[in-house]
Amino acid sequence: MNENKNDGIIPAAVYLLALSLFAMGTAEFLMGGILPMIAADLRITLPTAGTLISAFAVGALIGGPPFAVLALRWPSRSTLFISQVAFIVATALSLLAQGYWSILVARFAMGLAYACFWAVAAATAVQLSPPDRRAKALSIVVSGLTAAMVLGGPVGTFISDSTGWRGGFWAVVAVTAVSAVSGLLALPKKTPGDVVVPDLKTELRAMKRPVLWVAYATTMVTTAAYMGTFGYLGALLLDVSGLPAEWLPAVLTLFGVGAFIGLTIGGRTADRHQFATLVTGIICLILASAAIALLASHWVATVTLVLVLGFAGFLLNPAVWGRVYAVAPDAPMLAGATNSSAFQAGLTLAPLLAGLPISFGYGLSSVGWVGAAIGAIALGLAALDTRLSHAHESAGELA
């Protein structure tokens, strides 16, 4: 009777993990709005200030898998709390430091702590949730990152505008501290008894599956597809679509609204219809990106497509995360950490790939064609994933 009562219920702790990811993720997306303030305060150029964003991203990119290996023998609750404390300390050091190099090192350390938290948080959400609700649980955790992008960054920028660039980050420290203590109180001390906790050998053996690396590539490519376009949306809306500048924050918020709707639907469908959700999201992403390229000069159409782009990008998000855990259920920690790194790789590649045609003089609307092209690659990866999965299932290699 007890089991029936709890069947299908997402534990409250999963929502706390989302809150923590929101707080820590805000430190990644806040920087874009305050770079001029940082450059002026530190007396460095704007491109040099931009390397502070890269330092965080590189730490997040490379930190996940190594920390996941180290954390295999540690209780999840303690690991999550320690990674948040490390993040708080690194953030505080970056705010107390006065020199560029000290802040750069501290930002790299923040990225490492963030990667460790994200990897363990994803695995913990999977372990705490019923098998038929794991994609939903992952969508809730990832929604913290969405909120950081569309809410945390703008709010943090507003705080920094009022208090100086460090003010927004002190707010991040405060929210992270609250979520860390709440998580310590809410998370169970031990992994649920029905969940097998693998050892390093088991995790590494699972990582040899080719289909798993196709899933990682899909995560990276789909992230690059929608984030590359998103990164240049502000400039495109103002310079090509002719949108009034005062409307820009509200229009960019539409991306977050679409992302929330996509996550909500994808979280509900990805558990039972994983490939269908993934392919639907990719096709919508390709169509939205191509439409932006074609209709960029029409601001009404482009504004509508901003909503669609957010919807498509985050509809497939629970599917790409759920796919990794479906392929490697015996490697929740290392598989999740590597997928976090794949996501960060997509974020890192996005502005570089989308910016290439602009640098060659093809105009801002070309970012839509880049998104569509990358989306087509993602569709090919999804087809390859299906083929490999069927082959492995026939051979009895997948659980």
How many percent of the chain have pLDDT more than 70?
A: 89
Q: Quickly tell me which residue has 């320690």 as its tokens.
A: 82
- Indicate whether 281 and 356 sit together in one domain: yes
* Domain assignment of residue 313, yes or no: yes
Alpha helices in 97-187 (DSSP H): 100-128, 134-147, 153-163, 165-186
- Domain identity same for 243 and 338: yes
Residue 3 is predicted with a pLDDT of 41
- Position 124 confidence tier, pLDDT thresholds 50, 70, 90: confident
**How far is it, in rounded angstroms, from Cα 164 to Cα 36?**
11
Last residue in a domain, options 152, 180, 195: 195
Looking at residues 232-246, what average pLDDT do you find?
81
In a domain, 340, yes or no: yes
Segment 322-340, tens digit of pLDDT: 788 778 777 767 777 788 7
* Exposed/middle/buried for residue 62 (C-beta within 10 Å: 0-12, 13-18, 19+): middle
What's at 214, amino acid-wise?
V
181/223 same-domain check: no
Name the domain count of the chain: 2
Q: In sequence order, which residues have a C-beta less than 8 Å from that of residue 220 and are 6 or more positions away?
A: 342, 343, 345, 346, 349
Cβ atoms of 327 and 389 within 8 Å: the answer is yes
For 24-57, b/e burial (b = at least 16 CB within 10 A) is bbbbbbbbebbbebbbeebebeeeebbebbbbbb
What's the rounded Cα separation, in Å, for the pair 137 and 264? 11
Does some domain include residue 4?
A: no
272 CB-near residues (< 8 Å, 6+ apart): 132
Quick check: 209 pLDDT over 50? yes
In the chain the first and final C-alpha atoms are separated, in Å, by: 28
In a domain, 5, yes or no: no
Position 86 in a domain: yes
How many angstroms separate the CA atoms of 289 and 278, rounded?
16
- My answer on whether 202 and 181 are in the same domain is no
CB 16 within 8 A of CB 142: no
pTM equals 0.74
206: helix, coil or strand? helix
* pLDDT (average), residues 256-275: 82
> What pLDDT shows up at residue 398?
47
Average pLDDT (183-199) is 65
Average pLDDT over residues 22-30: 85
pLDDT in tens, 360-398: 888 888 889 999 999 999 999 988 988 887 666 555 544
- CB neighbour class for 320 (10 Å; exposed up to 12, middle 13-18, buried from 19): buried
* Nearest-5° Cα angle at 248, 297 to 364: 40
| pLDDT in the model for residue 193 | 47
Q: Are residues 344 and 374 in the same domain?
A: yes
Ranked by mean pLDDT, which of 137-151, 165-179, 340-354 comes out on top?
A: 165-179
Q: Which residue range(s) make up the domain with 174?
A: 10-134+144-195
**Which of 195-199, 268-272, 353-357 shows the lowest per-residue confidence on average (mean pLDDT)?**
195-199
Residue 295 lies in a domain: yes
Half-sphere exposure of 367 (CA within 13 A, CB side): 27
Contact present, 77 and 187 (Cβ < 8 Å):
yes
Q: Model confidence at 247, in pLDDT bands (50, 70, 90)?
A: confident
| Residue 118: CATH number of its domain | 1.20.1250.20
